[in-house]
């Protein structure tokens, strides 16, 4: 978002997300990363962390209500897993990218250079912050309709391909079914300071590395590696 054209950019952003705000300043906060305010002390608005907190709760309620009604036969455990697959970081970041929100983010020059997983976190958080902003500005129904239009269509595919099952469990089942091998995981590297560590993990079928993933914990990196392995092996279907 251009510092000189914030007002015009907010108009464009509202068109992108197809929601008109009575108070665009709330939307401005939703797309403002904490780091931007550290570099721009003159800014008079808040960063998006509180809105993200609120939006996360609204998102969970909307998706839970939808899944509860859509799948009356499924137990709580399955519904929880399906919900997690529908609103994970990758899913929310992808929606933000599809919307084109990325170009309207306000962040520090350093954060703007981040790519990969770090950028996905920022995009996912902005999506939730926008939901929180909609809830405050226009109410639950507006936020619900926005979420429904952007996320619900993916549900059938998630259930059909069992994407709701965590990637490690799915890959283990597929590996045993298709190759009669139990996969193993190995930490390849650990980068960054202790408070912001990034783990790189490889997943192997015997001695063949079939996938690699990164994450802020070994568990997250293993999930990413398993998902990559499923794609690399062509076992998505």
Question: What's the CATH number where 141 sits?
Answer: 1.10.1520.10
- One domain for residues 100 and 196: no
- One domain for residues 134 and 17: yes
In the structure encoding, which two tokens stand for residue 86, read together? 């529908």
Cβ contacts of residue 142 below 8 Å, gap of 6+? 19, 134, 135
Q: Would 224 be classed as within a structural domain?
A: yes
- One domain for residues 22 and 125: yes
DSSP helix, strand, coil percent of the chain (3-state; round to 5): 65, 10, 25
Q: Would 33 be classed as within a structural domain?
A: yes
Average pLDDT over residues 182-198: 92
- What range defines the domain where residue 197 resides? 167-232
Last residue of a domain, one of 160, 187, 220: 160
Total residue length of the chain: 237
Question: What's the CATH number where 185 sits?
Answer: 3.30.160.20
- Distance from C-alpha of 212 to C-alpha of 201, rounded to nearest angstrom: 6
- One domain for residues 73 and 174: no
- One domain for residues 152 and 87: yes
Q: For the segment 149-161, what is each residue's pLDDT rounded down to a tens digit? A: 999 999 998 888 7
If one counts the domains in the chain, the total is 2
pLDDT above 80 (res 115): no
Query: What's this model's pTM, rounded to 2 decimal places?
Result: 0.71
- One domain for residues 140 and 79: yes
> Which pLDDT band holds residue 139 (cuts at 50, 70, 90)?
very high
Provide the annotated active-site residues. 56, 128
- One domain for residues 214 and 182: yes
- One domain for residues 107 and 203: no
> Which pLDDT band holds residue 221 (cuts at 50, 70, 90)?
very high
The predicted pLDDT at position 160 comes to: 83
The predicted pLDDT at position 43 comes to: 82
- One domain for residues 102 and 204: no
pLDDT above 70 (res 79): yes
- One domain for residues 107 and 207: no
Last residue of a domain, one of 160, 175, 210: 160
Q: For the segment 5-55, what is each residue's pLDDT rounded down to a tens digit? A: 888 899 999 999 999 999 999 999 999 999 888 888 788 899 999 999 999
Q: Would 237 be classed as within a structural domain?
A: no
User: Average pLDDT of the chain?
Assistant: 91
pLDDT above 60 (res 1): no
The predicted pLDDT at position 41 comes to: 77
């Amino acid at each position: 978002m251009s510092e000189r054209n914030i007002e015009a950019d907010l108009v464009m952003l509202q068109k992108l997300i197809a929601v008109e705000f009575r108070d665009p300043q709330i939307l401005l906060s939703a797309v403002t990363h904490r780091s931007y305010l550290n570099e721009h002390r003159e800014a008079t608005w808040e960063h998006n962390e509180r809105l993200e907190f609120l939006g996360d709760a609204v998102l969970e309620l909307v998706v839970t209500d939808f899944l509860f009604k859509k799948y009356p036969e499924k137990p709580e455990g399955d519904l929880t897993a399906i919900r997690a697959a529908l609103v994970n970081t990758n899913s929310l970041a992808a929606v933000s990218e599809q919307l084109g929100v990325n170009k309207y983010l306000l962040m520090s020059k350093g954060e703007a250079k981040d790519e990969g997983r770090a950028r996905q976190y920022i995009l996912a958080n902005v999506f939730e912050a926008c939901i929180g902003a909609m809830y405050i500005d226009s109410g639950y129904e507006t936020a619900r309709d926005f979420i429904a239009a952007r996320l619900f269509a993916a549900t059938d595919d998630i259930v059909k391909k069992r994407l709701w099952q965590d990637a490690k469990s799915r890959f283990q089942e597929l590996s045993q079914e298709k190759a009669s091998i139990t996969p193993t995981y190995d930490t390849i590297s650990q980068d960054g300071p202790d408070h912001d560590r990034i783990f790189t993990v490889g997943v192997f079928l015997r001695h063949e590395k079939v996938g690699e993933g990164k994450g802020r914990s070994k568990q997250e990196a293993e999930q990413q590696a398993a998902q990559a392995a499923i794609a690399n092996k062509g076992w998505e279907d």
